[in-house]
Amino acid sequence: MSELSQSTSSSNKPFPLASKPFAPDDEAALREALKRCSPSTFEAAVQFRKTGNADHMPAVVIGVIERFVEPDLRAKLKDADDDLRLIEDLGIDSLTMMEIVILVEDVLQLTINNDELRNLRTVGDVKTFIDCKIRGLPLPRPTKFLPIEHIGAVMPVQPPFLFLNEASVSSTGANGKYKITGQEFFLQGHFKDNPVMPASIMLEALGQLAVLFLLEGAPAEPGKAIGANTIYFTGCEGVRAHRMCKPGDILTLSIKPKRMKMPLATFEGAIRVGQEKAVIAEDITLTFAYVESAVAPPAVNGAALPVSDSDNSANPPLRVAFNA
């Protein structure tokens, strides 16, 4: 059991333990520890211990998680979807999480604190967590699940032009859902007697999810926060619509940041309906600015205040409504 030293900031440098030779005894111990995991998990673990290359880490982590998941739920892990929720989708409780961590510690030769485990909600969270541990990086903020009340409290966009019912935001991106109700005002004219969700509005929805990411997910700078009223759309590239979306469809939206350097943030985005592609956007670019803020992030219970205070006049009516 060895402590992790914060010796590397580059993601390409091998893990420090590579310098300790991986002996046959170690391989035997590893085989025993992973005896109930798939052979590919064992192979990945051996490679990791020999080379220190963190690219093998995800296979090891997924393999260990799989070993502790009930057989009839393991199929869900096959797609290795980072948004798979540990509790709701895989039936992993906090005790099982401890079992997973103990095995991961043993196999990857790490030490992990219990406090840090509490925020792991998805498979992606676990991978990111282990990855940061290996590279000696600070841990990212946990994935937050945001219901409509929270979204409404923080977003500069409001109904009837808000196209997010719920969202989850992590440091690596955001996912959201929106159900086309059929009551949307623009559907009356688009088209007459044939309501179709405009592609431009679907692009807008992705942009809104990106705004939410900037406000809730982007890594925080000390004493500074992104101002909700400083965010504007500036451009997009490579936008394609593949499917007509109609009332009743539930849009599954996702965005991932590609580049972020003030004043611009560029994202890639996608919308699916079920398994089908609806919209792809290679680049969506927004401008943003920081404002001074010592305020903590909003609470999740609806009685929330937006982080940015730069322009009070635009928001008071909403704040009053939520604080009432």
- Residues designated as active site: 190
CB of 49 to other proteins, least distance (A): 17
CB of 39 to other proteins, least distance (A): 18
* Residue 93 vs 276, nearer CB to other proteins: 93
The alpha carbon dihedral of 181, 183, 188, 189 has a sign of: negative
Tell me, what amino acid is at 121? R
CB of 95 to other proteins, least distance (A): 5
* Residue 99 vs 282, nearer CB to other proteins: 99
Q: Cβ distance 265 to 288 under 8 Å?
A: yes
CA Rg, the chain, in Å?
A: 22
Q: What is the DSSP string of 254-311?
A: EEEEEEEETTEEEEEEEEEETTEEEEEEEEEEEE--EEE--PPPPPSSS----S--S-
Residues near other proteins (CB under 8 A) are: 1, 36, 68, 70, 91, 93, 95-96, 98-99, 102, 105-106, 111
* Residue 70 vs 237, nearer CB to other proteins: 70
How far is it, in rounded angstroms, from Cα 161 to Cα 179?
Answer: 13
Compute how many other C-beta atoms are within 10 angstroms of the C-beta atom of residue 58: 19
* Residue 94 vs 323, nearer CB to other proteins: 94
CB of 114 to other proteins, least distance (A): 9
* Residue 97 vs 225, nearer CB to other proteins: 97
CB of 93 to other proteins, least distance (A): 8
Q: Let me know the angle formed at the C-alpha of 128 by 51 and 291, rounded to the nearest 5 degrees.
A: 130
3-state secondary structure of 217: coil
